Chains A and B, each alone.
Chain A
Amino acid sequence: MIAFFLTFFLSLFVYLILTAGSGNVGLWSVSELTAGVALSLVTAAIARKFLCRAGNYRMANPLRFLLIPVYVIGPFFLEVIKANLDVAYRVITMRIRPGIIRVSSELKTDLGIFMLANSITLTPGTITVDIDEKTHDLFIHNINVGTGDEQKLVLRDHELFSIADLPAWIRRIAE
Chain B
Amino acid sequence: MIAEWIIVAFLAIGVIFNALGVIGLLRFPDLYTRMHATTKATTFGSVFTTLAVIVYAVSLYFSTIEPQFIVLGIHALIAALALAFTNAVGSHAIARAAHRSGILPVPAVVDRLKEAGR
Binding site for B on A (CB under 8 A): 17-18, 20-21, 27, 80-81, 84, 87-88, 90-92, 94, 96-102, 117-118, 121-130, 132, 139, 141, 143, 145, 149-150, 153
Contact = CB atoms under 8 A, between A and B. Distances in A.
Contact of B27 (A91, A117, A129): A91
Nearest to B36: A143
A143 B17 CA distance: 17
A123 to B, nearest CB: 8
Nearest to A155: B112
B88 A130 contact: no
Given A20-B71, A99-B109, A80 B43 contact: yes
Contact of A130 (B40, B74, B99, B107): B99
Interface in B4-39: 17, 20-21, 23-24, 27-28, 30, 32-33, 35-37, 39
B113 A129 contact: yes
B80 to A, nearest CB: 11
Contacts, number: 126
Interface string B96-109: 10010000010111
A129 B35 CA distance: 11
A88 B112 contact: no
B95 A102 contact: no
Contacts of B39: 121-124, 127
Given A98-B30, A127-B39, A150-B109, 13 more contacts: A17-B74, A84-B17, A87-B37, A90-B24, A91-B23, A118-B88, A121-B87, A122-B88, A128-B95, A129-B92, A129-B95, A145-B109, A150-B110
Contacts of B44: 80-81, 84, 124
10 contacts: A20-B74, A21-B71, A99-B108, A100-B112, A117-B92, A121-B39, A121-B88, A121-B91, A127-B95, A150-B110
B20 A99 contact: no
Interface string B70-89: 11001000100000110111
Q: Among the interface residues B36, B92, B114, which one has the most CB atoms of the partner chain A within 10 A?
A: B36
A92 to B, nearest CB: 8
A127 B84 CA distance: 14
